[in-house]
Amino acid sequence: MMEKTNYRRNFLKNLSLGIGSFVMFSGFKLKKEAKVENYPFTGISQGEADEIIKGGKFPGNISIRPEPAPKGSKNI
Amino acid sequence: MENNEKDNSRREFLKKVPVLAAAGTVGVAAGLSGCNSEIMEEFLQKNFKTLTKEEKKEIVKNLEKKYSEKYGKEFSVSDKPATEGILFGYALDLSRCVGCRRCVYACVEENNLSREPQVHWIQVLQMEKEKGIDLHHANIHYNPETVPEEGHFYVPVACQQCRNPQCTTVCPTKATWQEPDGVVVVDYNWCIGCRYCMAACPYGARHFNWGEPTIPAEELNPVTHYLGNRPRTKGVVEKCTFCIQRVREGKYPACVEVCPVGARKFGNLLDPDSEIRYILENKRVLVLKQELNTQPKFYYFFGI
């Protein structure tokens, strides 16, 4: 007599295999990304930048005629 | 009876398939035979990344010939690859920039940007000091007699050459990618103009050629790079490449050279003795839209 296939068990087996391999492969990806050479820098938040801008006496005394304004609209 | 009718309609359909396929093949063949070999070659050209050295050489030679004939002056098209150990980075001193837009027009000339319809890879945003960095209310159309204007500061924006670029991941044809030296480039032959990359870029740094670009022949820069400033056509997307044709030859980008106040700094991020590294190590730097984790290699700082 043929054994009845247990679909639920098979599904759960495959699910655990799937999750296992996903974790394994994403681990590889993380390792690869971590290989990108790094260089040190100290970031500044926008709030801090805004404080510097408000208190800063810049740009300096230079005065110069600007080139023509663009025709298009702002993209950012 | 009903079954018979069904069978017949399926048979009829299957009969038509080979006829339609044959007609399609003949049509495509007729269309292709109408093209000249140059257009065909361009159409069937492989992605630049997958080309061999010999294939690149051949393509570059053909392009040089094509451009020289079209524009009536000698053109050079470089395919120089990235140099190992170089990762380009950019820094801009917000306390020095006066918003004169010299960089915008130096970029236009160097990179053969269309004059009409106008394409600018750099946009200079004018902001009010009181509001701080406020991208939404920034003005690009300021036009006073002289700059800087009282109570304002200026933030030039171009491609941020992200380390984690979203524009390249969404491209359905893989026509855009990040080079080993960090420059995000476009293969204009592979761009289909879907503009997904433009939608993905949070900096508005990509520009679509809505019309055939027009550049006066006498103003064309004949020193070009395949992935940079070679003439583009209608229907492709383009962007700043840090002047790839210059920086891979050891020169500064045009915007850096032209800046009258020395606000722009450029160099190799992997060289601990470079000016850019000095800035990153000794100044506190700001990147735009940091929360998006695009990891720009374009840093803003305050030199004061």
Residue B1 has pLDDT above 60, yes or no: no
* Cβ-based neighbours of B172, under 8 Å, separated by 6 or more: B192, B194, B196
At which residue do the structure tokens 């503009």 appear? B195
Residue B13 has pLDDT above 80, yes or no: no
Which chain B residues are within 8 Å of A53, Cβ to Cβ?
Answer: 94, 129, 132-133, 153
| Position A35 confidence tier, pLDDT thresholds 50, 70, 90 | very low
What pLDDT band is residue A32 in, cutting at 50, 70 and 90? Answer: very low
The confidence score (pLDDT) of residue B5 equals 56
Q: If we measure between CA atoms, which residue out of B6, B3, B243 comes closest to residue B113?
A: B243
| Residue B261 to residue A62: CA distance in whole angstroms | 9
Answer whether B283's CB lies under 8 Å from B149's CB: no
At residue B35, the 3 state secondary structure works out as coil
pLDDT of B2 strictly over 70: no
Q: Within an 8 Å CB–CB cutoff, is residue B56 touching chain A?
A: no
Q: Averaged over A65-74, what is the pLDDT?
A: 96
Predicted pLDDT of residue B7: 59
Whether A69 and chain B come into contact, CB under 8 Å, resolves to yes
Task: Render pLDDT for A7-26 as a digit per residue (tens, 0 to 9).
Answer: 888 899 999 999 988 888 77
- Which of A30, A42, A44, A76 to substitute to test the interface with B, most B CBs within 10 Å? A76
Q: What is the pLDDT of residue A33?
A: 44
| Cβ contact B123–A74 (<8 Å) | yes
Contacts of A68 in chain B (CB under 8 A): 101, 143
Q: Give the closest of B143, B284, B302 to A42, CB-based.
A: B284
Q: Is the dihedral of CA A57, A59, A62, A65 positive or negative?
A: negative
Count of A-B CB contacts under 8 Å: 140
Chain-chain contact of A72 with B118 (C-beta, under 8 angstroms) = yes
How many C-beta atoms surround the C-beta of residue B283 within 10 A?
A: 18
Instruction: Please tell me if residue B235 touches chain A, with a CB cutoff of 8 Å.
Output: no
Distance CA B141, CA B216 (A): 25
From A51-65, B193-207, B255-269, the region with the lowest mean pLDDT: A51-65
Question: B267 or A29: whose pLDDT is higher?
Answer: B267
- Helices of type H across B98-213: 102-110, 166-170, 196-200
A36 lies within 8 A of chain B by CB: yes
More confident residue, A29 or A68: A68
> To the nearest 5 percent, what fractions of chain A are helix, strand and coil?
50, 5, 45
Confidence band, pLDDT 50/70/90 cuts, at residue A34? very low
Chain B contact probe: residue of A64, A65, A71 with most B CBs at under 10 A: A64
Task: Note the pLDDT tens digit of each residue in B133-174.
Answer: 999 999 999 999 999 999 999 999 999 999 999 999 999 999
A55 touches chain B (CB under 8 A): no
Mutate to test the interface with A, among B88, B95, B103, B124 (most CBs of A within 10 A): B95
Q: Considering CB atoms only, which of A43, A63, A76 is closest to B146?
A: A63
pLDDT > 70 fraction of chain B, expressed in percent and rounded = 94
For residue A1 the two structure tokens come to 């007599």
Of B123, B202, B304, the CB nearest to A70: B123
Residue B71, pLDDT above cutoff 90: yes
pLDDT, average across residues B82-99 = 97
pLDDT score of B226: 98
Average pLDDT over residues B178-189: 97
Average pLDDT in chain B: 93
Segment B210-231, tens digit of pLDDT: 999 999 999 999 999 999 999 9
A-chain CB neighbours of B145 within 8 Å are 65
